[in-house]
Chains A and B, each alone.
Chain A
């Protein structure tokens, strides 16, 4: 302990650690405080209310539905993004003519704001005037235009697809970083030993990619869980609350209905869900690593530029 206190590294980290705790911690404390109060339409605290806001949440069917839907949304988008990004990253890691261009094309959607992407999709999916229907009908794949966003089920499916699409650049980048840091000699050894391409992928690439996979899962879950623009722009959580996830429901409560206390309670619940998930996941990963004793010093990719 004394040795630790003398360590210059600790003292050098301390200021930024304190700043981070303040920047992240203060809003959360404030939120927690607000969620225990009765709050007026315009954010004035009217008095201590105990767990009233939380009690209201538990009895609120829309909250429960949104919670379930948030789970579906996060699981589907993250799984989809990873399943699609992995082969994309593998292909982009190969040497071929035009690889630079291909990489740019994959990354390009990242440079457009999510809101803009969602607006474009909303237009493209418009029933009568949308490009999507027009193209499909010209190709003869559809007889009648489909109203993609008119029902909750179809609308939500489409939104998940768009969510996957916008998460691909970020996920691919993580995987590409992982792939390019892989030692070539292992592959050469495997080649000499007569391992097939599939065996190389299964027994070398995948295990070595594991830490990057973990990062991709954790970061994507955090981003997608909190993702607001796609669903808000495309359906505003409608029709009939059928595509509401926690963030969109929270936004309606806070800024349309002025129930800031209840909204704070949801925010806090969301924070703890994510917190619990991250802890659980880190624990699972660490446990796995402890057993194999590998992959301890992998560089983490940058955390900027949140997708979805």
Chain B
């Protein structure tokens, strides 16, 4: 009894103590910053930046909240709907238009000095400019490329491909090896559509045509989808791609079971750690009518509802200093978004990262259009029907294109 009583007292005192702290903390200006979790390093990095920032600005308290990518959009949606949106957040650039169109994102042109703006690589600034207003800053960037297992190529006597015909031929040879498949094809979950865009773009097609209508019913899209389907049917990919998400395909590559995958730079540290003996090379996507890669940026966005925009901006400028950016880009394996970090020798001499960076001049970005998630999902459903053989490529793509045009009101 006395013990319980003591415990209760301790708890009460502790609670009072916390109240005291809260009261003390509220004297400072609080900036809430939602950090998307790229890896376990992301949160650690921004905690460090925040700590250093608070040292210089004792009157500002930056609260870092780490949220996994899978739940980020849901979390922000509920926060915004509930009126408790953070002050700044890392978001996928593909969501930015929705945020901007709904007045959730704050235009930052008024805060952005020409000098600060000049630190960014222009290519990466463009996706965040909507209707002439800058709605956010690029905070992370990556490009995609092909990764090949050189051991398998040697064993099969295949030639490293530069175009789709060569890829097809190499896949045939590699698939003849026991328990091995030429081409790893992703068939479910996040970015299943991107795995198809790679082929779509390099065949000369595009997600949206010049008239803004879906490009899925173009001859190029049909050609790309038919090629994927043909490779599935002939056993040149792992069986049943619809059971493989991005990580599953990458795991097959790490296990040495597939010859070629399309991937992002973040796979390199994983391969080095988990399959140190794997001999690989990073190459541009095979090209047919066009060279292309998928440039992906994430955006640091300020919320229009924030009451501490000035303080938040001060923190943003601090976090983009070279010393922090170089730590972040190296730590996460990203391509640099600022000119100074990009100028580092590492990004020119490292064969892996430079191969990814090489694609940037002709990189395509996900179009910033409203309802992008739904459009992407429609594409994924169509692809899955094709991969499963439930629908012929042409029928599935035509249907998806019609649905996408309807979503966009075209």
Contact = CB atoms under 8 A, between A and B. Distances in A.
A207 interface: no
A113 interface: no
A41 B384 CA distance: 27
Contacts of B104: 42
Nearest to A126: B248
Nearest to A251: B74
Contact of A240 (B78, B238, B388): B388
A255 B189 contact: no
B252 A128 contact: yes
Nearest to A151: B388
B188 A41 contact: no
Contact of A44 (B73, B81, B255): B81
B371 interface: yes
Contact of A40 (B102, B381, B385): B102
B373 A127 contact: no
Interface in A139-188: 145, 147-151
Contacts of B80: 42-43
Interface in A191-243: 235-236, 238-241
B277 interface: no
A128 B73 CA distance: 32
A145 B244 CA distance: 14
A257 interface: yes
Contact of B188 (A42, A238, A254): A238
B377 A252 contact: yes
Interface in B333-387: 371, 373-374, 377, 380-382, 384-385, 387
A240 B385 contact: yes
A259 B374 CA distance: 10
Interface residues of A, number: 29
Contacts, number: 93
A256 to B, nearest CB: 5
Nearest to B383: A240
A89 B211 CA distance: 66
A154 to B, nearest CB: 10
A57 to B, nearest CB: 16
Interface of B: 73-74, 76-78, 80-82, 98-99, 101-102, 104, 187-189, 238-244, 248, 251-252, 255, 257, 371, 373-374, 377, 380-382, 384-385, 387-388, 390
30 contacts: A40-B102, A41-B77, A42-B81, A42-B104, A43-B78, A43-B80, A44-B102, A126-B248, A127-B243, A128-B252, A128-B255, A129-B251, A150-B239, A150-B241, A150-B242, A151-B388, A236-B189, A238-B381, A239-B384, A239-B388, A240-B382, A241-B381, A254-B77, A255-B73, A255-B77, A256-B73, A257-B374, A257-B377, A258-B371, A260-B81
